Structures are given as C-alpha cells and as structure tokens.
C-alpha cells in the first residue's frame, strides 16, 4: 500500500497533506535507499571498489533531504530534523574515509571508471589533489623492479602512471575481473594493486558481529558456528584487547 501511495504521491498530497499516513510514507521514502544499499552490500558481497560510490550516493541523498531537493521536496521539517542525526553520523564516517586513501585507490581500479567518478563528484581542486595522492601512493607501494627477470618483457606502458592516461573501458559491470585477467601482462604493477584491494569486501558485517560485545553476536551469517567455537573466539577477542591495552 505504501509503495502504491509513493507512486501516486503527487495526486495524494494534493488532497490529504495533513493526513497522518503522509508522515509514514515520507519516512519510508527516506529510509528506502538505505535499505536498498544495505541489502545490496549484504547479498552481493560487494568489493571495496563500490564503497566510495555508496558513501557519496548516501551523502547526496541526505543532503537532498536536508535541503528539500530532488525527490525529497515534500519532506516535512520534522523528518528533516530527524535526518540531522544521520548526517552527523555520515560526516563521522566520511572523515574516516577521507583520512584513508585506500578507498580512493580501490575506486580507480575499475577500468570503466578510473578517476572519472572522483572528478565528477567533488571540486576540481580536491579531485586533482586526491588523484595526485593516489599516483604517489601507487608509485611508492608498487614500484618497478629493474632487476626483475621479467622487466625486459614488460610492456612500455605498464607503470601505474600510464594507467591514468589510457582510455576508460566501456563494458559490462560484471566484466572487471575478466578484464584484469585479460590485461594482466599490460599492467603487471597495477595488477598487484588489484590483487591487494579487489578481494576486500565493502562491509565487514561478519567480522563486526563476531568481535562485538553487543547482544547480536550470533547472526544469520554465523549461525553454523557451535557454542565452543564462539567461546574461543570471544576469548581471543578479549585477550587481543588486553594485549593492545597493555602495549599502549
């Protein structure tokens, strides 16, 4: 019923702007993008390469709600005030992301995007600074090795720097791994970065539940572990925390 009302919201709100159900409809509309992203990350086990687009997408949604823009022009002040808490939480995690270049490095490893997504989402000065930092990071972490036996066979455009200058590929979204497999020889240094970052999941749902002191330790992802295994895992977690505190 709510979904049908959302499709007809323009017609509905013309006649019942003060109806109590309007509030529930708006809340559902605000929460749906977050629900969809949560399900997508949980179901498809997305790579960290998808983290940056998800974060920025949610940030844009929160900004539109706050300022009554786009699809959220009819959101009430009450719901806008409630969203302020979400914006503060989002800012907290965005700052953590900005202090860790790994998210940006992972984002440019997609041959269909490279740096274009970063350049499209933020100001030119900020984008240029981030791309420059990524280049320096890749040069430092994945330097060429002249003494390597395979260096003579390496193609001239194999350096990370050439990765930024070559054309963006236009292929199927599920084609990334196949592309890197086919182009491993052309970008041997960048392939090392791909092997390091693409396997990283965009969310650590299992780890966060497993090493959490909250009541929701045993979830759908961990229901096959027996009680003895959980006991030892929680013991190891406590011991690890103690060692960290002792060494601090």
- pLDDT tens-digit series, residues 158-203: 567 777 777 766 666 567 778 888 888 888 888 888 888 888 777 6
Residue 215's pLDDT band (cuts 50, 70, 90): very low
- pLDDT tens-digit series, residues 31-76: 888 888 777 776 666 778 888 888 888 889 999 998 888 888 888 8
Q: Among candidates 210, 199, 248, which has minimal Cα distance to 49? A: 199
- In the Cβ-directed half-sphere of 232, how many Cα atoms lie within 13 Å? 4
Phi, psi for residue 69 in degrees, rounded to 5: -110, 165
Q: Output the six-digit token pair for 15.
A: 């006649």
CA gyration radius for the chain? 23
Q: What is the pTM of this model?
A: 0.64
Q: How far is CA 181 from the centre of its chain?
A: 23
Task: Report whether 210 contacts 222 (CB < 8 A).
Answer: yes
pLDDT for 128 equals: 92
pLDDT for 130 equals: 92
Handedness of CA 183, 187, 192, 197 (dihedral sign): negative
Give the separation between CA 63 and CA 59, rounded to whole angstroms: 6
The answer for 123, left when phi > 0, alpha when psi is -120 to 50, beta otherwise, is beta
- pLDDT tens-digit series, residues 79-101: 888 888 888 888 888 888 778 88
């Amino acid at each position: 019923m709510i979904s049908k009302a959302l499709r007809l919201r323009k017609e509905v709100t013309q006649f019942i702007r003060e109806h109590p159900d309007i509030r529930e409809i708006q809340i559902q509309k605000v929460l749906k993008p977050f629900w969809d992203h949560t399900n997508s990350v949980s179901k498809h086990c997305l790579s960290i390469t998808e983290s940056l687009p998800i974060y920025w997408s949610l940030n844009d949604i929160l900004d539109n709600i706050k300022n009554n823009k786009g699809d959220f022009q009819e959101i009430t002040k009450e719901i806008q005030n409630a969203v302020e808490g979400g914006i503060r939480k989002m800012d907290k995690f965005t700052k953590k992301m900005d202090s860790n270049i790994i998210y940006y490095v992972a984002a440019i490893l997609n041959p269909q995007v490279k740096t274009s997504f970063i350049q499209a989402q933020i100001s030119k000065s900020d984008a240029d600074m981030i791309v420059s930092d990524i280049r320096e990071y890749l040069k430092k972490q994945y330097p060429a090795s002249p003494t390597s036996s395979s260096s003579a066979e390496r193609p001239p455009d194999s350096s990370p720097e050439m990765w930024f200058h070559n054309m963006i590929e236009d292929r199927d979204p599920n084609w990334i791994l196949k592309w890197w497999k086919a182009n491993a020889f052309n970008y041997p240094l960048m392939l090392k970065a791909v092997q390091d970052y693409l396997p990283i999941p965009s969310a650590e749902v299992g780890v966060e539940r497993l090493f959490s002191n909250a009541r929701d330790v045993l979830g759908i992802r961990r229901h096959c572990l027996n009680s003895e295994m959980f006991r030892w895992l929680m013991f190891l977690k406590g011991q690890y925390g103690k060692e960290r505190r002792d060494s601090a």
